[in-house]
Amino acid sequence: MCSEKSDLFSTISLSGSTITQRIEEIGDNLHQHLQNFARKLSYFSLAIDESNDVRDSAQLLIFIHGMNDNFEVMEELGALQSIKGTTTGEDIYEKLSQTVKDLELDWAKLASVTTDGAPSIVGSKKGVIARINQEMDKQVRWLSRGRVLRHFYDLLPQITDFMLSENKEVPELNDAEWKWHLAFLTDVTELLNSLNVQLQGKGKLICDMQSHVKAFEKRVNSLEKLQKEFQFRFKELHLHEQNIQLFRNPFYIDIENVDAIYQMELAELQNCDSLKDAFKASSLLNFYASLSSETYPNLRNHALKMATIFGSTYVCEQTFSRMKHLKSPTRSRLTDVHLHHLLRLAVTNMEPDIDHLISQKQAHTSH
């Protein structure tokens, strides 16, 4: 392939050290792009999660979801921070604070923090959220579950036959009440799985997440214990329900139920037929981006803040899977710095400035 270019390819160095250097340079270039964009953010949110790599080193993932005044979205890996020794709330907060400082982010522009609910992060006294709460007090979290029960339930007849053939007695397999409880648990778990999938993925708005959660709660109203558990896990959604509803549809909400700073703007907005038509024809973010910053400054500002919120820690979980692929047992000596660069290249939505990188190089010919 490309035999006519063989002489050209022979001049290109593909040694391990050269490839490592190129990855570092591209990673640094992307980090510079991230810093430049971060300075222009109107609001940002953080998704943080901690896990161990193949060498049992604690790694903290910090993702940033932000938006500038033109409603241009940025969702990027802020940092992969290695934590040596203990992983207390104070240790994690120091790494988080270091990342915020490195990217020149303003804590006052933080809209929310999304976590997996680990005690070191959400602890009321010594957790990361407690430290951040000196400036902010927002959190969203959720927990996923698998599909093992459905497979087990579907195979019950075969499992029963197999146990009989092995002369092993399992009384529960012939207990009608036990099987009824299993079927019920299987159905509930499938509902949880469905919700899990709906909450995953990039670009999810907080109002979409709230709709899925409320729909699930209505389906489990008869299950008091499960309903209470959901109310606890999604208490932040309920606490900010009015703000989410305002963001979702400013034409539908009752003006008297919102904060006074929005009432005058809502009164004008809800009586503008052309904006009603624009709302129906546009995506939510495009609609808010089209609003005049002079006429609707508070509504635009509210939308900017709400649109930055992470719906879940899905992006962290997905990246940890990539991390374990990159730093596998056969590549366990990969340094934290190189792992960080590789992950940034693997998950970024930005394009490196290749022309700039090339301009910094001189051609080297093999001898």
Rg of the chain in Å (alpha carbons): 26
Residue at 274 is within a domain = yes
Q: What is the pLDDT of residue 365?
A: 47
Residues 107 and 37 in one domain: yes
Residues 73 and 60 in one domain: yes
Residues 100 and 177 in one domain: no
Encode pLDDT of 251-267 as tens digits: 999 998 888 889 999 99
Domain end position, chosen among 269, 292, 310: 310
Residue at 256 is within a domain = yes
Residue 355 sits in a domain whose CATH number is 3.30.420.40
Residues 72 and 26 in one domain: yes
Residues 125 and 59 in one domain: yes
- How far is Cα 138 from Cα 222, in angstroms, rounded to an integer? 29
Q: Residue 222: CA atoms inside 13 Å, Cβ hemisphere, count?
A: 3
- How far is Cα 98 from Cα 118, in angstroms, rounded to an integer? 20
pLDDT bucket at 358, cuts 50 / 70 / 90:
confident
Residue at 6 is within a domain = no
| Region for residue 14 given its phi and psi (left: phi exceeds 0; alpha: psi -120 to 50; beta: otherwise) | alpha
pLDDT at 61 over 60: yes
Determine which of 212-226, 250-264, 314-328 has the lowest per-residue pLDDT on average.
212-226
Residue at 14 is within a domain = no
- How far is Cα 188 from Cα 198, in angstroms, rounded to an integer? 16
Buried b (16+ CB within 10 A) or exposed e, 84-118: eeebbbebbbebbeebbeebebeeebbbbbbbbeb
The number of folded domains in the chain is 3
Residues 193 and 240 in one domain: no
Q: Are 145 and 193 in contact (CB under 8 A)?
A: yes
Q: Are 50 and 61 in contact (CB under 8 A)?
A: yes
* Token output for 220: 């489990």
Q: What is the mean pLDDT of residues 115-133?
A: 66
Residue at 7 is within a domain = no
Residue at 217 is within a domain = no
Which DSSP letter does residue 109 get? G
Residues 277 and 324 in one domain: no
Encode pLDDT of 276-311 as tens digits: 999 999 999 999 999 999 999 999 999 999 999 887
Q: Tell me the residue range of the domain where 352 lies.
A: 21-141+313-360
Residue at 91 is within a domain = yes
Residue at 2 is within a domain = no
Encode pLDDT of 89-121 as tens digits: 788 888 999 999 999 998 888 888 888 766 556
Residues 283 and 179 in one domain: no
Determine which of 60-69, 229-238, 273-282 has the lowest per-residue pLDDT on average.
229-238
pLDDT at 136 over 60: no
Q: Give, for 7, the enclosing helix (H) or strand (E).
A: helix 6-10
